[in-house]
Amino acid sequence: MSSDCIFCRIIAGEVPSETVYRDDRVTAFRDIRPVAPVHILIVPNKHIASVNEAEEADEAVLGRLLLTAKRLAVQEGIAKSGYRLIINTGPHAGQEVFHLHLHLIGGQRMRHPMG
């Protein structure tokens, strides 16, 4: 845990959030600036700054991020219509919080092109 990381503080319960899922590896909560009707952030409970800092030992938690996204898409009623999963890595990609996180976005038709 990093005491200056907002997501670490959310995981620790120090900052309020609308948590929708939590287990021993990941926590998921609604984004405070949603870009779609469903916009959930799924984060590892362990502080990993970005994909670039992930290690072989993190393989299980990285897989848990995707499986949690699938579970939440079903729970939110967007699995059949479709959803977007986004991981931004680094400032040029738009990463604002340097704690690895997966955006689950859906509930409306997504726009193209990306980038």
pLDDT, averaged across the chain = 95
Catalytic residue check, 47 = no
Tokens standing for residue 18 = 């609308």
pTM for this prediction? 0.95
The domain locations on the chain are: 6-106
Residue 34 phi/psi, 5-degree rounding, is: -65, 145
List the catalytic residue out of 39, 92, 99, 101. 101
Average pLDDT on 92-106 reads 97
CA-nearest of 77, 93, 87 to 38 is 77
Instruction: Give pLDDT tens digits for 40-70.
Output: 999 999 999 999 999 999 999 999 999 999 9
Give the homologous superfamily in CATH for domain 6-106.
HIT-like (3.30.428.10)
What's 43-95 look like in SS3? Answer: EECCCCCCHHHCCHHHHHHHHHHHHHHHHHHHHCCCCCCCEEEECCCCHHHCC
β-bridge mates for residue 38, sequence order? 106
